[in-house]
Structure 1
Amino acid sequence: MISVGDRLPKASLVKVTPNGPDAVDTEAYFRGRRVALFAVPGAFTPTCSAAHLPSFVNRMGELKAKGVDEVACTAVNDAFVMDAWGRQAQAEGVTMLADGNGHFAEALGLSADASKFGMGTRSRRYAMLVNDGVVEQVHVDAPGEFKVSSADHLLANMA
């Protein structure tokens, strides 16, 4: 599993732009910036929609005040689902990054088997602070929990 001080693995994520889906290279995306990255098991799922995504939307100003250049959300969903969820949740300022095949979650060592819920392989719920591609903080929730991956927890642990 990825740890503080590790460099994020090279991977390709996807975001929807006005011109359609666009590949996002993780090395280029995180280079030279401080990014609050969080992952959810699935777009439109109950805890993700009611608490996790809103925690970052509601604390965006405080994150920026503490030196965060960008806030990004990832999930093992396709780019169109991520985009629709972001719009429905009015998540302005959160970049929605699709990890459609789960390769990024797997490379981080944070994939989860949600087959018993009919969801296949997903990402574990986490939040991390990434500075120039290097992990400054990483907080991974236990399966079925939402305790340490919120914006509140990330902010409380920021210098």
Structure 2
Amino acid sequence: MSALDDTLAADLKNIGTEVGVSDWITVTQEMIDEFAKVTLDDQWIHVDPARAAAETPFGGTIAHGFLTLSLASRMFYDCFAPLPGQAMGINYGFDKLRFLAPVCAGARIRGRFVLSRVRKRSETELLRVHDLTVDIEKSEVPALVASWLGLTVFHP
């Protein structure tokens, strides 16, 4: 049996199971500012703390939704080590993505991963789908939910 087949067999037993919870990440104003520079999205709700405190219901600035989403890669690495025989992992996109609550500057977030689907695409590739929930500490509403597709590529 190959490393891919071993992983597939283990994954099939874990469908519907929470398979990882990341460390907490503090989303700082500095992170938000740097993300704004890189993406050229300098809307004031992200980068002007005084105005955001005065003119929004959030009490200050909020992270870009795509900043929150981009931290999912770090969350994934917190939860999952490379598999035996794995050559690489490739982000394959999303079937569903919803931003449910803003992440305020200074908030802590973490990712929770539930394995929802797995399919053998070839002799070297597994398509694995994780339902991702990004929690905001002390909030009942998550920052986002997503169905995240990833290709796990194994050495031939």
TM-score by length of 1: 0.26
**Bigger Cα Rg:** 2
